[in-house]
């Protein structure tokens, strides 16, 4: 573990670990109710700035091993009030590095932690996530913008299923074209095929109009994601 990451963990873990967040490398996550909450540290290639991305993702979303290994996070701290994208430091100054980390983690404690506390289930997360997106000028679930997290949360809530259906169909169409591509590998093709099978099954459940069938499909998706994430949680502290 490099010095920067060690320092970061020493400062951030006492705040988030007691709440059930598990750490591996630069990634951190916890499962609560029917969502996974995560944040991930990254640094600029010049070694002069750092940032944290974060996410709240419903367990009914298609979660796979590479996603967990690489870190789940599509938002950054600049999406929160008074936040910023990158936090700069002088790499040759240990005091400046520590000050930068403490400043960023302090912001996370004041702003990211309350966000996570308000998004501990799909039921709670939907209005909070919609507000976050709208505050950042991103439309949610309209005819022109299908935001992934919001779509899968809407799926769990059984809302806006016409928009969710269009979103799922669009995703299947895009990923089907990537199957067996020139630059694909057996592992990537297997992941894509698994994704397509899962999404097509969900599409069929929505198209059937059978609420019980759709609920069973959602429960299967959640169980699959929970099993994958459980392995991460058991192996990491």
Tell me the domain boundaries of the chain. Answer: 3-117, 139-231
| 78-98: burial string, b at 16+ Cβ within 10 Å, e else | ebbeebeebbebeeeeeeebb
Cα gap 224→207, rounded to integer Å: 22
Would you state the structure tokens that stand for residue 232, as one six-digit string? Answer: 């991460």
Look up the pTM and report it: 0.87
Q: What pLDDT score was predicted for residue 235?
A: 60
Cα gap 68→162, rounded to integer Å: 29
Q: What is the pLDDT of residues 135-175, one digit of tens each?
A: 877 655 554 445 677 888 889 988 889 889 988 998 899 88
Q: What is the pLDDT of residues 91-105, one digit of tens each?
A: 899 999 999 999 999
> Whole-number mean pLDDT of the chain?
87
Beta carbons of 168 and 184 less than 8 angstroms apart: no
Would you state the structure tokens that stand for residue 107, as one six-digit string? Answer: 């912001």
Q: What is the pLDDT of residues 41-94, one digit of tens each?
A: 999 888 899 999 999 989 999 887 777 777 777 888 999 988 898 999 998 999
Taking only Cα atoms into account, the Rg of the chain, rounded to an integer number of angstroms, comes to: 19
Q: How many CA atoms lie less than 13 Å away from 137 in the CB half-sphere?
A: 1
Q: What is the pLDDT of residues 115-127, one digit of tens each?
A: 999 999 999 988 8
Would you state the structure tokens that stand for residue 130, as one six-digit string? Answer: 């919609």
Cα gap 203→223, rounded to integer Å: 18
Tell me what the mean pLDDT of segment 200-229 comes to.
92
What is the separation of C-alpha 110 from the centre of its chain, rounded to a whole number of angstroms? Answer: 20
């Amino acid at each position: 573990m490099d010095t920067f990451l060690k320092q970061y963990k020493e400062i951030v873990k006492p705040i988030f670990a007691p709440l059930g967040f598990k750490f591996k490398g630069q990634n951190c996550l916890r499962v609560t109710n029917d969502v996974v909450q995560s944040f991930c540290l990254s640094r600029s290639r010049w070694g002069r700035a750092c940032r944290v991305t974060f996410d709240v993702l419903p367990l009914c979303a298609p979660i796979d091993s590479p996603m967990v290994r690489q870190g789940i996070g599509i938002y950054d701290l600049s999406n929160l009030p008074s936040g910023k994208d990158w936090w700069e430091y002088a790499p040759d100054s240990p005091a400046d590095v520590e000050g930068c980390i403490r400043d960023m983690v302090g912001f996370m404690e004041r702003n990211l932690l309350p966000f996570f506390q308000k998004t501990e289930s799909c039921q709670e997360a939907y209005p909070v996530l919609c507000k976050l997106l709208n505050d950042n000028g991103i439309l949610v679930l309209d005819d022109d913008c299908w935001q992934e997290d919001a779509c899968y949360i809407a799926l769990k809530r059984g809302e806006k299923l016409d928009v969710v259906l269009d979103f799922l169909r669009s995703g299947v169409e895009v990923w089907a074209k990537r199957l067996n591509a020139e630059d694909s590998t057996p592992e990537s093709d297997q992941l894509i095929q698994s994704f397509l099978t899962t999404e097509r099954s969900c599409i069929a459940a929505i198209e059937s109009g059978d609420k019980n069938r759709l609920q069973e499909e959602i429960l299967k998706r959640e169980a699959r994601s929970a099993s994958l994430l459980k392995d991460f949680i058991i192996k990491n502290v």
